[in-house]
């Protein structure tokens, strides 16, 4: 396994951990503190997201994503995030129009 492979495995694992924490928050609320934990679900989601972004940053630093031009990769990432934000907003409106979003 290469370093790149290992980082990709970590990214996949962290995606799952973000998803798990988000579903816990849906079931029990963002402010719920799971027994034996010190942080609420909101802070735990942030922690898992930080772990994911750190692994992704390391992958970019490895030049495995978007070639060796890290600044270009960051610019592309910002553009992708802005496009995703617009898409999410569009579908939030559609969901509200369908009566599924309060």
The tens digit of pLDDT for each residue in 37-46 reads 999 999 999 9
Verify that 52 and 21 share a domain, yes or no.
yes
Residues 72 and 53 in one domain: no
pLDDT of residue 66: 53
Distance from chain centroid for Cα 77: 13
Residue 44 CB-density burial (10 A; 0-12 exposed, 13-18 middle, 19+ buried): buried
Cβ neighbours for 25, distance < 8 A, ≥ 6 positions apart: 32, 41, 42, 45
57 plus 73 within the same structural domain: no
Q: Which domain holds residue 57?
A: 1-65
Mean pLDDT of 16-37: 97
| Same domain flag for 44 and 75 | no
Q: Which residue has the higher pLDDT, 38 or 66?
A: 38
Give 69's pLDDT tier (boundaries 50, 70, 90). Answer: low
Mean pLDDT taken over the chain: 90
User: Residue 34: which pLDDT band, with cuts at 50, 70 and 90?
Assistant: very high
Domain count, the chain: 2
């Amino acid at each position: 396994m290469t370093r790149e492979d290992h980082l990709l495995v970590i990214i996949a694992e962290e995606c799952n951990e973000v998803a798990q924490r988000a579903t816990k928050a849906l079931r029990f609320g963002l402010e719920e503190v799971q027994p034996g934990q010190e942080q609420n679900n909101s802070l735990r989601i942030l922690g898992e997201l930080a772990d994911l972004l750190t692994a992704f940053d390391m992958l970019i630093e490895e030049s495995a994503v978007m070639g060796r031009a890290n600044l270009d990769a960051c610019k592309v990432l910002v553009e992708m995030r802005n496009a995703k934000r617009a898409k999410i907003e569009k579908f939030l409106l559609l969901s509200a129009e369908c009566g599924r979003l309060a």
